[in-house]
Structure 1
Amino acid sequence: MPPITLVQEDWKRFMTPEGLSEKAGVPKHHFRKMIIKELIDNACDVGGGRLRLVDSDLLEFYDDGPGIPLEALSIKRALISSKHWRLGERGALGNGLRAVMGALYCLGGHLVVHAKGKATKVFVGNDGETVYVDQGETTDTKVRVYCDEIGNTPDLLSFKLTEQMAGPVVKSSKAIPEWFDDEAILDIQRSAEGLTVSEIVGQFRTGYQPCKPHELFTGVNAVELLAKMQKHTLERTPKVREVGAGLMPGWEYAQLRGERENIPYVVEAWVKATPKGSGSISVETLVTNRAVSLTGVNANVEKKGRVNFVTQNYRFHLGGSDRDKFTLSQNVDYRVILSISSPYFPIVSSGKAIDMEEFVYDLIRVFVTAGKKAKTALSKRKPKEKRITIKDAVEQLLPDAYEKVSEGGRYWANARQLMYAMRPDILRLCKIDKFDDATVTQKYLPIFQRPEWKIAYDNRGALEEPHTGQTVGLGTVEIENYRGRTANIGFDRAARPSMVFGNMPAEGRFNKLLFVEKEGFNQLIRESGILERYDMAMASSKGLPVVAARALIDHLAGTVDGFQLYVLADFDVNGCVLADSLVTDRDRYQFANEVNTTKLGVTWDQAQELHRQMKSEPVELEKYNTRVSYAETLAGYGIEKTAIDFLLGRHWDEFNEQPMRVELNAFTSRELLDIIEEGVSGPKVVPKDLQDLYAEASVRKRVAEYERKLRAEPSPRAPYGLRDTIAEMLSEDPDLSWDEALAKLV
């Protein structure tokens, strides 16, 4: 009996390691790399793509878009792709998300998609159906990947290169007819069910106007239509954008442009050489269309410096005169990153692997060119680079920093905010690794700040007035306001009586408290109107909160309906301790009420982004035992492991063993206000018993009307010798103030 013929639907190939390997174009041991590549590519296509390692079994992907549509995660869906138009998009055939879900099925993993206010767990069942499980509400837009050991994927950090390669490969929103052949247009026709000739022609950059625009495209001669569009093309050879030398600062760079069957491409190489080597070559990453590729490339230098590339099971080397022209020294070792960019790549299988044979010879040439530059750079004696002083750097950078932080003078700028805004450029210009913050904030800012700038310095004590008992902090903002204060008295000026009731209990005035670790932001927040808009009080401290602060918060939580505490604190050890100690029992104080708390900033996510912008700073934690104690404490507060490693400097990102911190001052004034606005919510206050308050408001309104009538009358004349009379009264009774004496005479 002949063997039974089995029919297998296409989607089932995504559910077996062998079938998925064919569909995705990668071997089984690269499935985790493929998941990472497809998701970071997807995020970068939208814009602002970011990859974050949470732990060994969890990665997160962020972008600035609306989030992945859940229906795109079905492996049973039809192939949906815009790659047919040959515009140089990331990926090859549009199977990326199907391949991700197939790989997670094979590896026993799943996704949690955060989008449009909802978190959804997504995985593939044994029947191939995609299962969606509601995980509640969310405010994030991200994808979380749960998969064993995905965080330990080799070369994980290389995928972060994709974050730096934003933008299209070709600056054209429409397809170029010259880049298509007969088979390509026929392939489009086979997938264009229901589309008209006009709709297809509209996808191309051509001046051709079809005679029968509403005719179905599937019913015309597609090859003849392509020829007509090519004849009337508006753009024959748009430039393919190179990634550029800036991808790898300090590495030598070369590029080479070419065409293959009228389709342009550019190949690039970044090379770094190390002395006293043996000619070994480490191809660290291959980039295709601004995305990290999973296609493996190996290289070596043979006799006489000739270079061989090995990829897709074939060995390639240059022939003819180029064989001896493109050679490298064997006295150094080479690290290399390669890139190919083109509107269209030929595919070698039903998977996504591009045909490297089409580009490998130019890759060898461009690598050797950059490699020679790298070898030459080693032998050159570097000229002594000019350094500038911190003082000169502050003078140069301060105007732009103030403009950015204060949003053109609209807001107060804290001195440390300005320091953080300048910090990356100070380090770069002065060629130093760190500097004393006070050198900038206390020594050089006062020298170079302009009179009209509003820069806030922290209080250094307080001024207390006699008679009134009012205190004025000895900080820039407080003294500026005090100097600008006037009596604001005039008989013809009716003072507006306050319709805001003083001495109200807390439940009648506010239902939210914003606790700020630093006092320097008080004026900024106060002037923004946020406190009034949300009926929110504000408190601040220097250092950890005292018992009185905890007692106040406990009291408010017990007496104010719906009370909510919001916290702004640095992302450092003390900031984490502060946020926890505000609401957690300690030996010196036990809470009677549960406190609803939200930390607005600096959160771990915010800290990572600011660290990437070089707005973090190192701290000193000298004793090992201290670090161990801190690690246990922070873990008890629910701080995740990677964040603890960042704060304590154990092995956070493999580039930095130094304990780090991120201050609130790293935000600009506008960024800080936006964080508060986006994080605070809830109703405004309406007291329960308004009867007596209504009566009081009525009295105040009538008093105001009576005062307005009095001030409309002729103003009384002061008696002759009034100043001498007041001076005599004060000499007789030194405890009086001048205004108390004046009141006795009226």
Structure 2
Amino acid sequence: MSSTPVVERIVFSTSRTAEFLDWRALQSQTGQPRARFGDVIIKELLDNALDAAESARVHPEIGLAVTWADDVARVCVADNGPGLQGGVIERILDFTRNVSDKESLRSPTRGMQGNAFKTLLGIPYALGVSEPVVVEALGVRHEIAVSADPSGDVATRYTQVDSPRTVGTSVTVPLPAEQVTAEAVAGWLQKFALVNPHARFVDHGQTGCGDGAGIYEPTAPQGWRKPLPTDPTSAHHYDEAAMTKLVFAHIREHRAGGPDPTVRAFTNTFAGLTGSAKAKKVADQVPGITHLSGFEEHPDQVPVLLAAMKHHSKPPTPSYLGQVRRDHYTHVLEHAFGVEEDWFARKQLTDAAGIPWSIEVAIARTKRPGAVCFAVNYSATFGDPLANTHLAGDSFASAGVRSFLAQTDAAPTFGNQSCRAAIVHLVCPVPQFTDKGKTALVVPSEVADACAKALTAATRVLLRDKRSKQAAERRELRAAEREYKAHAVGRAASKVSKKDAVFTVMREAIGQARGAEGLSFSSHTLFYKIRPLALRLLPAGTKLKAPYVEQKLIPDWERENGPIQGLYREPRGTLHHPHDPAGTRDVRLGTREVQQYIPPKWSYNKILVIEKTGLWPPVRESGIAEQYDMAVITNEGYGTEACRELLAKMPPGDVQIFVLHDADPYGYNIARTLGEETARMPDHRVKVIDLGLTVDDAQAKGLDSEPDTRDAALPARILPHLSDPARQWFTGEPCAWQPNGKPAKWRYQRVELNAFSSPELIAYIKEGLARHQALGKVIPPDSALRSTARQRLHHRVVGAVGEAIDAMFRMDRLVPAVYADLDTDQITDIGSADLAQLQARRPSLSWEDAVTTLVDSRMPGDPHLTALARQAVAEQLAADRR
């Protein structure tokens, strides 16, 4: 009997470090969408450069240069710090560990992401750029390029050559050119300059707007100080969990070959405990433990150590957080936007947990369009850190700063109103961020109150002026209405025009639509406010219809008086992308939606505009959009202003635009107005190819015509576009007359697109595309093809690795093992009183989000939870080996 050979199976371990090279994972790690990776790079480089210079205790001099060539933007930031050591770079290249000098520390310093530099190395690869990241410091040029090898690990190409840079560090990161704009670079420089009065910022690249436009000089007086990365932190900033995390971070470093600090030396690193006598008194409270490694066997003694450290030191006051003076904010805002008038407020406090806070708010009325800037701990953020915070003003409340500013007339506005700029800066040694991008904060209620008071103080004058202006407008409107009514008494009622009535009440109607909160409103909402006011001035029985007011009178009023602030047009059409069967990327064509829409690259090179939404199903089912890489816009009737604005956003010559319409005067006019200027859009000019339906085509196809009537003469501007048969059809014959004997109605012939069967319609569209030599399929350049191929390969490999890991590690065994080490009753014991208390501070939360927030706040820290998971995995591996 032959024996079967026994194969000794090898248990493989698969690294997840390649997640630093996947754009989806990088979105999670950075807290920003892929489209903002360029912003991530600029912000992190500026943060690192400032920290490096401050660590060397010199006034920071930060240079930023961006150059664009060969479809690549190279972002370079240089500092005057001590220079990055080669050994630090080698540690950064260990993708299995985070390398940070801030991890576990509680100090009002920037960043604190812990893996920021690794993301800077991974982002170029994730976006399809093969060039290396270049670091120059201490006479050495380090070139680093990372990629994912077939096993899923990070493969690194790392070379060193000589460099002329001996002072400071420069880091250059290559990105796709579209990831970085000159406006974004200028914006980040301005935001960082706003909250760093001790630093000099210079734009060395091609992003400046003129001589000196890219230079921000320091304004801080002699002796000005902010907390530095090298300053001792305070024991009063820590609770027991945070101190335990810090102690065990030191223990982890010791296991990896690092030093094992004594308890006294560790104590000396904290503010107020640098003396040997105090350090001895603290150490005496944990007898038997001489070095931090001793806490590994006695973790219960960490709270004893913390209590002793707090007892022998004083809690810091908010003054140690530093201050940015009002004149500095004014100086930078003047440099960026031109300041006509400005206001400033500062609030400093210590919250109930003993944590100091500083809130600074500067508001300016500017000469040029401004912006709202946010910063936390002397670092610009990606957005509003208080976006989810309830802020109560004197007579209103808002969720977040932007809404607060909008209600006080302090938000940036354009058109016929003055421009605004604002900066809100928070400093705190223990910021509790809710996102990986270090933007959204959770703040105690007393801090939210202080923020609201600072905003109220800084915006008081603007709010008073806004209310005075509104009161004056109401008085003017009432006077105008009285004058108009008195004048109307002496006129025949028939001479009061609808336009005069609507224009008379327009401002009052706008005020009603906007409300005291200053919220946005649709044109249809405005119509409903206009109608009852205007009808009081018109003869009894007069009708005022929405299309006439919304599409004619409101635009006419705007041309005479300027844009109506807050007004938007509701969507009246849809843009359908090809290769999107579920319609997940459909864009509704309203003014706000079109303003936010960015045409995707390499998605389509043709757009077909169809005047009937009901024809989309057969067009979708036919696959013609995918066959021709063609987006389809469906409208009801005339193309809206938003539709024409979207067409105008297309790069000239890159996208062909076709239109399909009924064979009637309105259809011909639709084709014309899509591409030509109109009264509402006098500068609009887009090349539009008319596919029909034309009268000549309808006759040639044998389509049945139908009679119709119209109330006006043919539009003069379409006459040159009409063939003889079309002119004959559309002119028709008078069928009703006015009292003066002129025609009031005409009977004419027309054909709708619906006269086609669905297959006939698709065939007609294809004939038109061929006749007008429609472009071929979308084919990106080779660089984009290779980049996409690499991404697809990487996703397949990552998916395969994930499936292998899932097969090796059974979740039905791992999850209960982790649960066993958690106090699940304490974490999940959530009642209505808990939700009510949280939602009182954050009213915008749903009950599901509130439960998630409470669970997160009760969970152990990520390192502890990760350690439990690793332990469960290790135990399963050991059990499998047995």
Does TM, scored on the shorter chain, surpass 0.5? no
TM-score (norm 1): 0.43
Q: Which has the higher helix share?
A: 2
